[in-house]
Structure 1
Amino acid sequence: MKIGVISDTHIGKNLYKLKDFLGRHLNDIDMIIHAGDYKTLAVVNTLKNFERFVGVWGNVDDKDIQKLVKEKEIIEIQDYRIGVFHGHGVKQTTIDRAYKAFKDDNVDIIIFGHSHQPIIKTKDNILMLNPGSPTNKRKERWFSYIILELEPQNISASLRLFIEKQ
């Protein structure tokens, strides 16, 4: 299973940027996971065009988006339990808030966003993935996303960095 992992798209009027990114970088995936901060319903509806889409809402997402996706999600794929949470909140770091959101859920992987800083690391035997942002890099040098590949005996997570075409 090949999964495209994104977060923090923050798309308002420029939906073409997301569509362009999806066409260039995620055209051969089996599933897409978005860790929140879509900003508009149009982004959620665009992602729902994928055969398999899982998403959670973030701190900039309004009530209309919150009706379509949960704040926290746990999915099971090929015997892996994957927790998805945006990472917003107060106190602690983003990664610590994401970890704490699933402390009693026995997950193998946690996908989160919020900081716009891409991360692939382990924390107490859990794979922690923050894809950064493919459309709103803030202070990061590159736009980013993660390709997560799951096989029965193997997990591969690769960070993909790119510069937006002008």
Structure 2
Amino acid sequence: MNIVVVSDTHMPKKAKELPPRLLKDLKSADLIIHAGDWQTISVFKELSKYARVVGVFGNVDGPDIKSHFKEKLIIPICDFKIGVVHGHGQKWTTEKRALAAFKEDHVDCIIFGHSHIPLIKKVEGMLLFNPGSATDKRKQTHFSYGILHIGKSIEAEHVFYETKN
């Protein structure tokens, strides 16, 4: 199973449309996970043209997004449980907030966003994955999104690119 993972699209403020590089992988996605900061429901509608979309809301999302998505989500896929949270809050780092959100749950992978900083890291056997941002790289050198490959294990990779056009 191939899952495209995006976060912090901030559309239409940071981009008027999804980047061509992302569209290429969306065409073969079995599932799309969005880790918040959609900014408009039109992002969900656009992503839904390619595959089933699940996700959470982020700190810049308004009532329209919050009425469709929760703050935290656990997705069972094959023999794994994937936790999704945006990662915003007042204390700690984004990574620590993401870990804290699932401290009472058994998950195999936590997907989060908010920082716009791509991350793949193992913590006590659990995969932490931040796809970065496909449309708002901030101080990063590249735009990015992620792909999870799920079979007998969960493997994560980033897709990096220099321009969103």
Q: If the length of structure 1 is used for normalisation, what is the TM-score?
A: 0.93
CA distance in structure 2 between the partners assigned to 1:114 and 1:7 by the alignment:
8
Q: Measure, in 1, the Cα distance between the counterparts of 2:164 and 2:122.
A: 32
The whole-number CA distance in structure 1 between the counterparts of 2:115 and 2:14 is 21
1:158 aligns with 2:123: no
CA contact (8 A) 1:44 1:65 kept: no
Per-residue CA shift, 1:59-111, capped at 9, x if unaligned?
A: 00001110011111001001100000000001100000000000111000000
Give the whole-Å Cα distance in 2 for the aligned partners of 1:27 and 1:15: 20
Where do 1:34-73 residues align within 5 Å? 34-73=34-73
Secondary structure of the 2:122 match is strand
Q: Is 1:18 aligned with 2:18?
A: yes
Distance 1:165 1:96, change over 3 A: closer
2:29–2:50 contact (8 Å) kept in structure 1: no
What is the SS of the residue equivalent to 1:57? coil
CA contact (8 A) 2:143 2:164 kept: no
User: Which secondary structure does the structure 2 equivalent of 1:9 belong to?
Assistant: coil
C-alpha root-mean-square deviation of aligned residues, in Å?
1.6
**Aligned 1:84-163 pairs, distance under 5 A:** 84-151=84-151, 153-163=152-162
Contact 1:15–1:43 (CA under 8 A) maintained in structure 2: no
Give 1:51 deviation, angstroms.
3.0
Give the unaligned 5+ runs of structure 2. Answer: none
5+ unaligned residues in a row in structure 1: which ranges? none
Pick which of 42-51 and 10-19 moved more. 10-19
Task: For 2:79, give the aligned amino acid.
Answer: D
Shift of 1:20: 3.2
Deviation at 1:45, TM superposition (A): 1.8
1:113 deviates by 0.1
CA pair 111-165 structure 1, distance change in 2 beyond 3 A = closer
